[in-house]
Structure 1
Amino acid sequence: MVAAASFIVIVILAAASGAIFKPGPWYETLRKPSWTPPKWAFPAVWTVLYILIAYAGWLVWDAAGWSLPLLFWALQIVLNAAWSALFFGRRRMDLALGDIALLWFAIACFIVAAWPASQLAAILFLPYLAWVTAAGLLNFSVLRLNSAG
């Protein structure tokens, strides 16, 4: 029970980055592609994804303890938390794009590494990979649309 609660707390701490570094007026002024999801979609999707992320982490911990997939789980949660600070906090869309590329890679590595320990944990990360793929494309598009020259 303590281990499960630990994963929930870690995910809540990572999610807090999005609450601390909010889009705000600066983001509203940026040019965005027509396919940008509506504002309400972000908290709705992230709530579901964070539940899946915590559960997948716990499943791997329960099946394999400290292991390679857990290392990738920890890496992705750090990169996840860093993105909001880079994009919204520092307003560095370029650094945020690099972060999200690393995040995508860490998620993919978790899926592959977790599969032998817990196929369910690996599968639970598939929607996360899909969303981060879309978020990476959005980050790239916003950067391109708002770059001088």
Structure 2
Amino acid sequence: MFAKKLLGTSVLVTATALTGAAATQDVNSHWYTKLRKPDFQPPAATFPLVWPALYASIALASAAVLVPQAKKRATQKRRESLGVQVTRPDADPASDPARGYRRALLLNLALNAGWSWTFFRQHDLDLALGTATGLAVSSTDLARRAGRVHRGLGWALVPYAAWCWFATALTARIRTLNS
């Protein structure tokens, strides 16, 4: 079951990475090279090293978060198929941490890919800052939700959340320097 969930989360994360990468082809554009950047901006070589590791952590932690609920649903379906009356205390969607996590993950990945488009393609520093802030909040929420399933899964997403907050600070400073 984990392998199936990992395949699904890997597909989502890979699609996000490819969508973001398509937008960042403009890193050598005239617009980007002319932007004033803060002293704390990492060297360009940092980004292709950091993002694959972060994306891998998202796919792995997310798959692990989603497995327990999938197993519970599969067990309930097997019991029902055998004619066993199943009471569903978790029938309320609000009590299903995996369901909330799935939605939070999809929002997070949309914001993740969206930042690249707002920044590199639209050249909209205000919208990029809003998107980065939303991504940072969303990444923190994702780590919190994962931690509700298992503390270690939450900690596995802390570097991603921290990087997103750093990217927000970087975007804010670029916006300020170029306003």
Q: TM-score, normalised by structure 1?
A: 0.92
Percentage of identical aligned residues? 32
Contact 1:3 1:58 in 2 (8 A): yes
Question: Equivalent residue for 2:9?
Answer: 7
**1:39-90 superposed Cα distances (whole Å, 9 cap, x missing partner):** 0001100010000011111011112344212221221111101110110011
Contact 1:60 1:70 in 2 (8 A): no
Question: Equivalent residue for 1:19?
Answer: 21
RMSD: 1.3
- Residue 100 of structure 1 deviates from its aligned partner by 1.1
From 109, 113, 121, the equivalent of 2:145 is 113
From 140, 144, 161, the equivalent of 1:129 is 161
- Separation in 2, partners of 1:115, 1:19: 29
Say which is worse superposed, 124-133 or 107-116, in terms of deviation: 107-116
- Separation in 1, partners of 2:55, 2:43: 19
- Residue 2 of structure 1 deviates from its aligned partner by 2.5
Structure 1 gaps of 5+ residues are: none
The number of aligned residues is 147
- Residue 128 of structure 1 deviates from its aligned partner by 0.6
Q: Post-superposition, which runs of at least 4 consecutive aligned residues in structure 1 deviate over 6 A? A: none
- Separation in 2, partners of 1:50, 1:113: 17
Computing the radius of gyration from Cα coordinates, the structure with the larger value is 2
Say which is worse superposed, 137-146 or 101-110, in terms of deviation: 101-110
- Separation in 2, partners of 1:31, 1:7: 36
Say which is worse superposed, 112-121 or 125-134, in terms of deviation: 112-121
- Separation in 2, partners of 1:12, 1:34: 31
Q: TM-score, normalised by structure 2?
A: 0.78
- Residue 121 of structure 1 deviates from its aligned partner by 1.9
Local SS of the residue matching 1:113 = helix
Say which is worse superposed, 103-112 or 5-14, in terms of deviation: 103-112
- Separation in 2, partners of 1:126, 1:145: 29
- Residue 29 of structure 1 deviates from its aligned partner by 1.3
| 2:78 pairs with 1:45 | no
- Separation in 1, partners of 2:130, 2:19: 17
Over 3 Å counting, the alpha-carbon distance change for 1:106 and 1:77 in structure 2 is same
- Residue 106 of structure 1 deviates from its aligned partner by 1.1
From 111, 121, 124, the equivalent of 1:92 is 124
- Separation in 1, partners of 2:40, 2:65: 35
Structure 2 gaps of 5+ residues are: 71-97
